[in-house]
Amino acid sequence: MPKKLLTLCAAMSRRQILASGLLLAIVIETITVILRFGFALQSTRDTAALGAFTLGLRVHHGYIGLLLVPLAWCFPLGLRHAVWIIAIGLIFSDLAHHFIVLWYFTGSPQFDFVYPTRP
């Protein structure tokens, strides 16, 4: 990351980190909604081949965000804050997508832990 951006991130308060993460979540969710409803993509169907690499487990982007939260402590302050912003964006985007957007538009959160088995 550019040095100026890391310096900016290092100076952020907890409230600014959270607000930036939530703003990023809105951006990620906007892209996800466009892909889901504009291009008719469905992660369960269109990424099912990944199940061979994950032993059939679905890896939601919120899981990656949860992994990044403690991992960020391994980095210097500016990078740590940037990683936390990304983590917050991933977590809240995934939660909003499944438990607000999909539940409202499809009637189901479609939060699968494993890929469905094909007959």
pLDDT digits (tens, 9 = 90+) for 28-52: 999 999 998 998 888 777 777 777 7
- Residue 51 domain flag: no
117 in any annotated domain: no
- 84 lies in some domain: yes
Range of the domain at 92: 15-43+61-111
Q: What is the pLDDT of residue 22?
A: 97
Alpha-carbon distance 114 to 88, whole Å?
A: 23
The band of 11, judged by pLDDT with boundaries at 50, 70 and 90, is: very high
CA pair distance 52, 61, nearest whole angstrom: 18
56 occurs within a structural domain: no
What mean pLDDT is predicted for residues 77-89?
96
Q: Is residue 116 one of the residues assigned to a domain? A: no
In a domain, 4, yes or no: no
Of the candidate ranges 35-39, 49-53, 93-97, 100-104, the one whose mean pLDDT is the lowest: 49-53
Residue 78 lies in a domain: yes
Q: How far is it, in rounded angstroms, from Cα 45 to Cα 58?
A: 11
* Prediction pTM value: 0.85
Instruction: Give the total number of structural domains in the chain.
Output: 1
Inside any domain, residue 9: no
